[in-house]
Every structure is written in structure tokens, then in C-alpha cells.
Amino acid sequence: MSTSSQLDSAIPASRIASLSSGEFVGIVADNPDQKIGLKMFHAEIVNDHDAIKTEEAGFQSLPQVREVDQETIYANYLQIKQDIQEILIAELGGDSNIDKEAA
């Protein structure tokens, strides 16, 4: 025996669409032996924009470790494909019809 409920209208799409930035709504589920009195919520994230700007002003850029070009990226991609091919051969035992283009 199974019971199901359709809760599409629990929080109407129109309510969700009308939320401002930083607002959120939701419904939490409970257990039959642990009932939750207030299942629905509507809340807002409140940011201290001045404090955030002050913190961001103290950020430092990450140093560039090295220059990477398309050729290096492609060579790395091919190496990863080769490594995967070798792992598959080692794990599956021998060259067991592994399509090298698919790996």
C-alpha cells in the first residue's frame, strides 16, 4: 500500500517568482514521531554591505604560477586519456576490446 500527495501548490510559483534577491522560502519534512510545528518558512539573507566592501578591499590577488596555453592544455588532456586507457587495460586485464577513441 502506498500513499502519495501532490504538493505543487504548497508554495505557488507566483510567490517564488516575486521574491527579491536574498529572500528564500521552503518547506521542511518531518517524521510521524517527530512533528514539526512550523514547516513553512520565508526568510531573507541580510548582508552588511559596508563590512563586505571593507573585507574585499583587503583581498590580495593570487600570484600567477605559470603561463598556460592551448597546446599545454591539449597535451594534458591527451595524457589523461592515455592514463585512463592504461588503467582500464590494467583493471580489465590485457587489451580487451577497449576502443581507444572512446576512452
Question: Where are the strands (E) in 13-102, listed by range?
Answer: 23-27, 40-44
- Residues 10 and 27 sit within 8 Å (Cβ to Cβ): yes
Segment 54-60 shows an average pLDDT of 95
Segment 10-39 shows an average pLDDT of 85
* CA dihedral sign, ordered 72, 78, 82, 83: positive
Segment 27-34 shows an average pLDDT of 85
- % residues pLDDT > 90 (the chain): 46
Write phi, then psi, for 50 (nearest 5 degrees): -65, -40
Mean pLDDT taken over the chain: 85
Give the span between the Cα atoms of 23 and 39, in whole angstroms: 17
